[in-house]
């Protein structure tokens, strides 16, 4: 089925100047960018976005990292977009990410891991709505 997923190019990958290389991977896999916005997240925005992780020991470091520089946020649309995007990203920990994945190629650590992607249809809907009002998503 045609799905949408939320993608974030994190501060480490923006600083490495690889937004275009990562976009090319999305496009090469048939994923269409239907919304996009560069922004520097506030602490409140980052905490709200990652609220499901609030009790985890890595939460503070995660939030501090996500507000350390600008991020590029986009909505990707395509056949099985959620799983297709996760395949492109590779494992959360770049040391465990398969060769040729975005995280294997561009990430430095489990915190500075280059990209975020929604993990399921329900979270994708919530995450897309968190950053993009429906009228700013340009489908087909």
List the one residue out of 50, 61, 3, 39 whose CA is nearest residue 132: 39
In the bound state with ligand CMP, the residue whose beta carbon lies nearer, of 64 and 139, is: 64
Active-site hit among 116, 117, 118, 131: 116
Smallest gap from residue 63 Cβ to ligand CMP (A): 10
Whether 116 sits among the annotated catalytic residues: the reply is yes
List the one residue out of 113, 112, 41 whose CA is nearest residue 72: 41
Q: Which residues of this protein are in contact with ligand CMP, per CB under 6 A?
A: 53, 58, 62, 92, 110-111, 113, 116
List the one residue out of 111, 110, 114, 112 whose CA is nearest residue 101: 114
In the bound state with ligand CMP, the residue whose beta carbon lies nearer, of 39 and 139, is: 39
Does residue 76 contact residue 31 with C-beta atoms inside 8 Å? yes
Q: Please enumerate, by residue number, every residue annotated as part of a binding site.
A: 10, 58, 86, 92, 103, 113
């Amino acid at each position: 089925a045609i799905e949408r997923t939320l993608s974030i190019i994190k501060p480490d990958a923006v600083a490495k100047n690889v937004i275009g290389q990562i976009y090319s991977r999305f496009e090469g896999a048939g994923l269409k960018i239907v919304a996009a916005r560069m922004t520097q997240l506030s602490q409140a925005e980052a905490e709200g976005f990652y609220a499901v992780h609030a009790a985890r020991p890595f939460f503070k470091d995660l939030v501090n990292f996500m507000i350390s520089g600008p991020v590029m946020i986009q909505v990707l649309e395509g056949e099985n977009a959620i799983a297709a995007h996760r395949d492109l990203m590779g494992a959360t920990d770049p040391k465990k990410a398969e060769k040729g994945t975005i995280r294997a190629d561009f990430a430095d650590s489990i915190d500075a891991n280059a990209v975020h992607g929604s993990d399921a249809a329900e979270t994708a809907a919530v995450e897309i709505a968190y950053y993009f009002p429906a009228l700013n998503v340009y489908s087909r």
